[in-house]
Amino acid sequence: MVIRKLLSCVGKYKAAAILAPITIILEVILETQIPLYISDIVDTGINGGAGIAYVLEVGGKMILMAVLSMTCGILSAKFAAVAGTGFAYNVRNEIFNKIQDFSFANIDHFSTPSLITRLTTDVNMVQMAFTSCIRMLVRAPVMLVMATWMAVRINAQLSLVFLVAIPLLGVSLALISKNAMPRFSAMFKKYDALNASIQETLIAIRVVKAFVRGEHEIEKFEVSATDVQNAQKRAEKLIILNGPIMQFAMYGCMIAVSWFGGIHILEGTMTTGLLMSFISYITQILSSLMMVSFMFVMIVMARTSIQRIGEVLYEVPDINDDHASAALQVEDGSIEFDHVNFSYAKKEDNLTLENISFRINPGETIGIIGGTGSAKSTLVQLIPRLYDVYAGAVKVGGHDVREYKIENLREAVAMVLQVNNLFAGTIRENICWGKADATDEEVEAACRAAQAHDFIMSFPDGYETELEQGGVNVSGGQKQRLCIARALIKKPKIIILDDSTSAVDVATDAKIRQQLRQNLKDTTTIIIAQRVTSIADADKIIVMNDGRIDAIGTHEELMKTNRIYREVYESQQKGVA
Ligand SMILES: Nc1ncnc2c1ncn2[C@@H]1O[C@H](COP(=O)(O)OP(=O)(O)OP(=O)(O)O)[C@@H](O)[C@H]1O
Ligand SMILES: [Mg+2]
C-alpha cells in the first residue's frame, strides 16, 4: 500500500518513467546481438577465409549496433533521471503537506529531527532505488533472458553451467538481504539521533556559545557520528559480501565454460568463434546477475526508507475535522472547561491536567498564575485545540471545540505561544501571518496596540526591516511584542498570551494590557504571567497548582483566601521593596 501510494507520486513524470524501461529494453536487444557478429568475424571472416572485406563489413555492422545500443542507453538514463527527480520532488511535497496536517501530538510522536531525516535522507534513498528500478530492474531480467536464450541456442549442454550457478547465487543473496534489513533499520534510527543532535546544537548555537559548551557538544556529536558509522559498518559488512560471491560465481562459470568449451572445440562440436560469443553471453548474464544483486541491496536499503516514509504518510492526524460542521462559526468568546482531564501520554494514570472546570464569559480578562510546570500552558493549548482533551470537554462559544472546523476555531482563537518564533521575511510579512490581506493601517494599529510601532519605526527600514530566521535580529522583548501584534491583527474572539510579556518591562506590559482592554472590549483575553502585577486587574484569576485548579477569584478575593496566591504576591512585593 505504501508502494502504491508512493508510485502515485510519479504523477506527470509517468511518460519518462515508462520510456526509461522501453529504451533500456531496446538497448539490451541490440547489445545481445553483438556477440553473434564476433563469432561471424572469427568463424567466417578469419578461420573461414572470407577475407578482410567481409571482416570490415561485419565489423561495421557491429559498430553501428553498438552505437545504437549506446544511444538507447543514454536516452534511458536521461528518462530515468527526469522521472527519478520528479518522483522525489512529488514524494517530498506529499510528506511535507502531510506534516502540515499534523497536530502537536503527531509531531511529538515522530520528533522534528526524525521528520527531517525522512524528508531528506529517506527520500534520497527511495529516489535512488526508483531510478535504478526503472532501468536496472528491467535491464537485468531482460538481459538475463535474452543472453541465456542466445547462449542456449549456441550450445544447450554448455548452458547447464548456469543451472548450477544461478540457484546458489539466489540463495546467498536472499540470506544476505534478510539479515541486512534490520541492520539498515537500526542505521536509520542512528541517523535520526545524529540529526537530532545537529539540529539541537545548531538551533541553540548561541546558548551553546554563551555557556562555553562547545567542547561538550563536540563530544556529543562525536558519539552520534560514531554510532552512525558503526551502524553503517554493521549493515554494509553484510552487503559487501555480495561482491566476492558474485565474483566467485562469475569466474567459476568462466573457468567451467572455458574447460568444457575447450573440450567441445577439440572434439570439433563447437567453433572458436561460437565459444567466444558464448563467453560474451556469460559475461552479459553474470553482469545482469550482478545488477540484480545490486538492485537487491538497493531495495533492501530503500525498504527501510519506504517504511519510514509510509509511517509519516499513514500517520492519522489525531486532531482532525471528522466531527466538525463546516458552517459552524465561533459566535462569541465564551470558554467553558467541563471536567477536563488531559494527558500527553494519553494514559489515565499519567494526567497532566486533572478535573478542570470553569467558565469564562465573552469579553472577560482572565489571569492564570501558578508555579512552573503547573500545566498553565497545557491548559490554554486545549482552547485552540493544539491538543485534544483526554476526558471531559472544552467549549468555545457554547460548542465543543471538536465541532468547529480547525480553521474556523483557530481563526477565532489567537494564541501567542510561550516559545515563539518569527520567520525569515520582513516585519510586515510576519505580522500579516495573522491576516494575509491586512492593510497598512491594520498592521500599524496592531503594532501600536502591542507597543511595537515605536521600536519598529526606529529601525531604518521600519516595517520593511528584514527579520532573520527565528527573529534573531530583534531583542527578546521586541520579538514578544511582534508576536502579540501578529495575534492581534486577527481581531480574534479570544486571545491567549502565554507568558508573552515576560521579556517586556513592567511599564510597557501595563500599556499593552491597557490597549487590549480599550481595543478588544469584546475579546476574551487570557493572560498567563509570572508577575502578579500582570494579572492583578483581571476579572478572574485562576491559580494553578500541579495540574489542578487551586482557586479562582479576583485579586482581592484570592489575597484573602488563597495561600499560594498570597505567597507569590508577597514574594514579588518584597522584590520591589
Ligand atoms: N509536549 C509535551 N509532552 C509531554 N509532556 C509535556 C509536554 N509539554 C509539557 N509537558 C509536561 O506537562 C507538565 C506541564 O507543563 P506546562 O508547560 O503546561 O507547564 P507551565 O505551567 O506552562 O510551566 P511554565 O510556567 O514553566 O511555562 C510539565 O510537567 C511538562 O513536563
Ligand atoms: Mg508554560
- How many angstroms separate the CA atoms of 156 and 152, rounded? 4
pLDDT, averaged across the chain: 89
Residue 375 Cβ < 6 Å to ligand 1: yes
Q: Examine the domain organization and report whether 285 and 355 are in the same domain.
A: no
- pLDDT score for 575: 62
Compute the distance from residue 350 Cα to the ligand 1 centre, in Å: 13
The answer to whether position 180 is within a domain reads yes
Compute the distance from residue 361 Cα to the ligand 1 centre, in Å: 26
The answer to whether position 437 is within a domain reads no
CA–CA distances in Å: residue 271 to residues 50, 154, 267, 324, 457: 16, 10, 10, 81, 93
Residue 373 Cβ < 6 Å to ligand 1: yes
Compute the distance from residue 543 Cα to the ligand 2 centre, in Å: 13
CA of 369, nearest ligand number: 1
Find the helix or strand (DSSP H, E) in which 392 lies.
strand 391-396
Residue nearest to atom 31 of ligand 1 (CA): 373
CATH number at residue 408: 3.40.50.300
Compute the distance from residue 561 Cα to the ligand 2 centre, in Å: 25
Domain final position from 314, 346, 376: 314
- How many angstroms separate the CA atoms of 297 and 287, rounded? 15
Torsion of CA 12, 16, 17, 19, to 10 degrees: 140
CA of 530, nearest ligand number: 1
Residue 378 Cβ < 6 Å to ligand 1: yes
Residue 372 Cβ < 6 Å to ligand 1: yes
Q: Which atom of ligand 1 is nearest the CA belonging to 544? A: 21
Compute the distance from residue 517 Cα to the ligand 1 centre, in Å: 29
Nearby residues of 124 by Cβ (< 8 Å), 6 or more positions away:
88
CATH number at residue 231: 1.20.1560.10
The answer to whether position 55 is within a domain reads yes
- How many angstroms separate the CA atoms of 137 and 302, rounded? 14
Q: CB neighbours (10 Å) of residue 380? A: 24
pLDDT single digits (tens) 540-559: 999 999 999 999 999 999 99
Residues of the chain with pLDDT under 50: none
Residue among 374, 379, 415, 528 whose CB has most ligand 1 atoms within 8 A, to mutate: 374
State how many domains the chain has.
2
pLDDT single digits (tens) 162-199: 878 878 887 887 788 788 878 888 888 888 888 878 87
Residue 112 Cβ < 6 Å to ligand 1: no
Residue among 342, 353, 376, 416 whose CB has most ligand 1 atoms within 8 A, to mutate: 376
Domain final position from 280, 314, 348: 314
Q: Which atom of ligand 1 is nearest the CA belonging to 108? A: 1
Asked if 471 and 479 count as a contact pair (C-beta separation under 8 A), the reply is yes
Q: Examine the domain organization and report whether 307 and 412 are in the same domain.
A: no
Q: Examine the domain organization and report whether 228 and 154 are in the same domain.
A: yes
Find the helix or strand (DSSP H, E) in which 541 lies.
strand 540-545
Q: DSSP 3-state assignment of 552?
A: strand
Residue nearest to atom 24 of ligand 1 (CA): 372
DSSP 8: G
Exposed e or buried b per residue across 508-538, where buried means at least 16 C-beta atoms within 10 angstroms of its C-beta: bbbebbebbeeebeebbbbbbbbbbebbbeb
Q: Examine the domain organization and report whether 298 and 155 are in the same domain.
A: yes
Residue 358 Cβ < 6 Å to ligand 1: no
Residue among 352, 372, 388, 531 whose CB has most ligand 1 atoms within 8 A, to mutate: 352
Q: Which atom of ligand 1 is nearest the CA belonging to 530? A: 25
Compute the distance from residue 117 Cα to the ligand 1 centre, in Å: 27
Asked if 275 and 62 count as a contact pair (C-beta separation under 8 A), the reply is no
- pLDDT score for 577: 57
Residue nearest to atom 16 of ligand 1 (CA): 375
Residue among 377, 496, 546 whose CB has most ligand 1 atoms within 8 A, to mutate: 377
Compute the distance from residue 381 Cα to the ligand 1 centre, in Å: 11
Q: Examine the domain organization and report whether 353 and 273 are in the same domain.
A: no
Q: Examine the domain organization and report whether 156 and 258 are in the same domain.
A: yes
Residue in the block written with cell 472590549: 521
Exposed e or buried b per residue across 281-303, where buried means at least 16 C-beta atoms within 10 angstroms of its C-beta: bbebbbbbbbbbbbbbbbebbbb
The closest of 471, 435, 475 to 455, measured between CA atoms, is 475
Q: Examine the domain organization and report whether 304 and 350 are in the same domain.
A: no
Residue 374 Cβ < 6 Å to ligand 1: yes
End-to-end CA gap in the chain: 68
Q: Which atom of ligand 1 is nearest the CA belonging to 378? A: 18
Order of strands, sheet of 540-545, starting from the edge strand that comes earlier in the sequence? 413-416, 494-498, 524-528, 365-370, 540-545, 548-553
Alpha helices in 155-241 (DSSP H): 160-203, 205-210, 214-239
Compute the distance from residue 340 Cα to the ligand 1 centre, in Å: 16
DSSP 419: S
Q: Examine the domain organization and report whether 147 and 239 are in the same domain.
A: yes
Compute the distance from residue 375 Cα to the ligand 1 centre, in Å: 5
The answer to whether position 286 is within a domain reads yes
- How many angstroms separate the CA atoms of 222 and 193, rounded? 12
Asked if 441 and 522 count as a contact pair (C-beta separation under 8 A), the reply is no
Torsion of CA 188, 192, 197, 199, to 10 degrees: 130
Residue 344 Cβ < 6 Å to ligand 1: yes
The answer to whether position 267 is within a domain reads yes
Angle (nearest 5°) at CA 459 between 466 and 499: 75
Residue 376 Cβ < 6 Å to ligand 1: yes
The answer to whether position 456 is within a domain reads no
Domain final position from 258, 281, 314: 314
The closest of 313, 309, 33 to 147, measured between CA atoms, is 33
Residue nearest to atom 6 of ligand 1 (CA): 344
Write out the three cell numbers for 381: 493549548
Q: Which atom of ligand 1 is nearest the CA belonging to 370? A: 21
Q: CB neighbours (10 Å) of residue 476? A: 11
Compute the distance from residue 380 Cα to the ligand 2 centre, in Å: 9
The answer to whether position 319 is within a domain reads no
Q: Examine the domain organization and report whether 361 and 305 are in the same domain.
A: no
pLDDT single digits (tens) 242-274: 888 888 888 888 899 889 999 999 998 888 888
Exposed e or buried b per residue across 189-202, where buried means at least 16 C-beta atoms within 10 angstroms of its C-beta: bbbbbbbbbbebbe
Q: Examine the domain organization and report whether 269 and 380 are in the same domain.
A: no
Residue 343 Cβ < 6 Å to ligand 1: no
Asked if 323 and 143 count as a contact pair (C-beta separation under 8 A), the reply is no
Q: Examine the domain organization and report whether 261 and 343 are in the same domain.
A: no
The answer to whether position 487 is within a domain reads no
Residue 546 Cβ < 6 Å to ligand 1: no
Find the helix or strand (DSSP H, E) in which 525 lies.
strand 524-528
- pLDDT score for 576: 60
DSSP-derived pairing of the beta strands 399-400 and 548-553: unpaired
Q: Examine the domain organization and report whether 294 and 339 are in the same domain.
A: no
- Residue 376 structural domain: 335-418+494-576
DSSP code string of 143-160: HHHHHHHHHHHH-TTTTH
Q: Which atom of ligand 1 is nearest the CA belonging to 379? A: 18
Residue among 319, 368, 372, 378 whose CB has most ligand 1 atoms within 8 A, to mutate: 378
